[in-house]
């Protein structure tokens, strides 16, 4: 019952949110990529990244909004790990794939090496920070080890979405 209620709330909230797309800042985007999201989700993700940095964590968005065509291509290449086209949270503009980044003097600095980044994302302190702080920002880790049976997709600790009901009520 709880899952169905949450889906219904998110659907209702989505009716009241803008369909506009906006760019994330270059600070929030991985290397030189251009990342886009639903315009109402952008300030949330920017705040997450800024607050993480204040706590000594370096997060960037490696993937965000995808078109149906982009999702089709990704699914054709990786059907066992990619969501079916038309069902991906990335297509709705509220989901991001985070990655960690190098820092120097408390700020992101892509020119320095951080050997720790060779580890899986779920082994990095940035992932622990997200798990502890996500509720403050309305972030949901969509594909967890404990919900693989429901999602039919493998765990993706880097994949987070901004809850639409949170956006509508905060």
Q: What is the pLDDT of residues 5-47, one digit of tens each?
A: 555 655 665 666 678 999 999 999 999 999 999 999 999 999 9
Say if residue 150 is exposed, middle or buried (CB neighbours under 10 Å; 0-12, 13-18, 19+): exposed
Give counts: helices (H), strands (E), the chain.
6, 8
Query: What is the per-residue burial (b if ≥16 Cβ within 10 Å, else e) of 32-50?
Result: eeebbbbebbbebbbebbe
- Domain-wise residue ranges, the chain: 16-169
Global pTM reads: 0.88
Instruction: At 115, list the tokens.
Output: 């050997």
Domain 16-169 has CATH 3.30.420.40: no
């Amino acid at each position: 019952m709880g899952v169905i209620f949450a889906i219904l709330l998110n659907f209702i909230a989505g009716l009241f949110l803008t369909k506009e797309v906006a760019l994330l800042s270059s600070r929030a985007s991985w290397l030189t990529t251009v990342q886009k999201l639903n315009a109402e989700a952008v300030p949330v993700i920017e705040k997450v990244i800024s607050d993480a940095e204040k706590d000594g964590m370096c997060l960037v968005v490696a993937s965000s909004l995808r078109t149906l065509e982009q999702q089709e291509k990704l699914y054709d290449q990786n059907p066992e790990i990619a969501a079916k086209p038309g069902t991906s949270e990335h297509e709705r503009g509220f989901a991001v794939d985070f990655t960690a980044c190098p820092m120097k003097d408390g700020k992101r600095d892509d020119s320095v090496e951080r050997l720790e980044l060779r580890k899986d994302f779920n082994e990095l302190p940035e992932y622990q920070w997200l798990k502890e702080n996500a509720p403050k920002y309305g972030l949901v880790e969509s594909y967890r080890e404990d919900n693989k049976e429901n999602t039919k997709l493998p765990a993706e600790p880097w994949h987070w979405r901004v809850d639409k009901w949170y956006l509508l009520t905060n």
